[in-house]
Amino acid sequence: MANKKMGLEVVSSAIISFSVFLLLASTTQAQSNGVFDVTKYGAGKDITEALTNAWKSACASTKASKVLIPSGTYWLRRVTLAGPCKAAIKLQVDGILQAPVDPDKLSGGHWVNFRYIDQFTLSGRGTFDGQGKVAWSKSTCQKYKDCDSLPMNIRFDFITNALVRDITSRDSKNFHVNVLGCKNLTFQHFTVRAPGESVNTDGIHIGRSTGIYIIDSKIGTGDDCISVGDGTEDLHITGVTCGPGHGISVGSLGKYPNEKPVSGIFVKNCTISDTTNGVRIKSWPALYGGVASNMHFEDIVMNNVQNPVIIDQVYCPWNQCSLKAPSKVKISDVSFKSIRGTSATPVAVRIACSSGFPCQNVKLANINLAYRGPGGPAKSQCSNVKPIISGIMSASGC
């Protein structure tokens, strides 16, 4: 009897050992040199579960890790990839990720969401394809309250010490990228592609974040190439090519109560082509207060741009606001320097500040913008501001 019991224990032990071996073998196969390949996690045409499981494994690693999506075309449903992780983590996307065409299958305001990660890199030759064409239709936008509720391609929420490099966002249903509560996040060689008629498809929107860098990137879309929301500080935009779209915009500000100050915005060495605006600061009339200061736009080339240089404190799209009261947003310490190229409208420079809170310390230096159409040459218009003008000023009037 004792021998039989001992034999059962030996068999049981052997089964457990073999199970552990299979588990270890499976883990080793899925993970090779810190690389977690989604194809080793059962990825097929739809990689949602495989990506989620690969991310969880990599995030739990105590050593630096990388999740790999190899070349190919994959379906991806709504997904959240969250930290905190135990070590630095990378996501390398070399394939094309396709969102569901139907917006109803992407509830929650986003398609792909990265949250609460420190030391994160998103890189590769890949594309996040939002397949947004159907969502831009008038009927769809009315259903989703003028498109505001449609899903964004990518959200970065509370990310620190991160790099996004070489990735493409294409045809988002809403904003391509939304950055909220982030610190020390860099976009480099980042590409946004969407047609000029796409609705509400801002390229990169930044809010309540600090230390954000957008470098050597190409953004063409149907709304602002880059839009800056409240609470943004220490933002550097350098070497960006923008167009089509609505330009590079600070704001709109003053639409909501308790907005945080905007400060330290530096836009330099950019090219803006065939857009409805160039470099712009905008705030709503009446409504709520706010502060925007220390904003500088320098060495910008404009090619056939409507409103190349504009501060608009009577911003009121679709006439959905009251113009009876002035904007309560205080704008100060702004400079536009070495802005050159061609304007698509006669008024190349328009500084329309609030009558309640006139702009303070606005500098215009070496503005050389040409307009050759009816009503030319190029001119400038200023209200509720006394700009400090130096160097070339081809657009006379202010």
Give catalytic residues, as residue numbers: 246
**Cβ proximity of 344 and 298 under 8 Å:** no
* Farthest CA pair distance, the chain: 108
**Cβ proximity of 214 and 226 under 8 Å:** yes
For residue 119, give every residue at least 6 positions away whose Cβ sits within 8 Å of its Cβ, in sequence order, or none.
85, 87, 88, 89, 160, 161, 162
Helices 48-59 and 2-30: angle between axes, nearest 10 degrees: 100
Q: What is the spatial distance between Cα 130 and Cα 111, in angstroms, rounded to a whole number? A: 8
Give the count of alpha carbons within 13 A of 87, CB side only: 11
Q: Which residue type, as a one-letter code, is found at position 270?
A: C
Three-state secondary-structure class, residue 306: coil
The DSSP symbol for 52 reads H
**Residues pairing with 372 in the sheet:** none
Q: What is the spatial distance between Cα 259 and Cα 312, in angstroms, rounded to a whole number? A: 18
Q: How crowded is residue 19: how many other Cβ atoms within 10 Å of its Cβ?
A: 10
Q: What six digits make up the tokens of 331? A: 């704008």
